[in-house]
Structure 1
């Protein structure tokens, strides 16, 4: 199971990172990456994931 997914609400719009709870496999939270570039959005989401996991 992936720990996050990327989604665009409309073509050419910003990418949203959807973080999943690894235990319940349900959506934990959604955050807008602020970019329409998928590669940048993925890098931002991975950075958030690392920060989020360190805080636990």
Structure 2
């Protein structure tokens, strides 16, 4: 199991997500709307990353 740290900068219109590997290196970052649809998109993307980490 490889840990993935997730940081989320929440604002009224959008949320910026930063993914960091255990060694401190950036995995990726992206933005989603601060809405129910954005939350669904966030969960789907995190689940995809779960399976892409070596």
After superposition, the CA RMSD in angstroms is 2.7
Counterpart residue number, 2:20:
20
Unaligned runs of 5+ in 1: none
Counterpart residue number, 2:48:
51
Aligned length: 51
Unaligned runs of 5+ in 2: none
> After superposition, what is the alpha-carbon deviation per residue over 1:3-54, rounded to whole angstroms, capped at 9, x for unaligned?
211114xx52310111111x31232211011x124x7655533321211122
Q: Show structure 1 runs of 4+ deviating over 6 A.
A: none
Which structure carries more strand by proportion?
Answer: 2
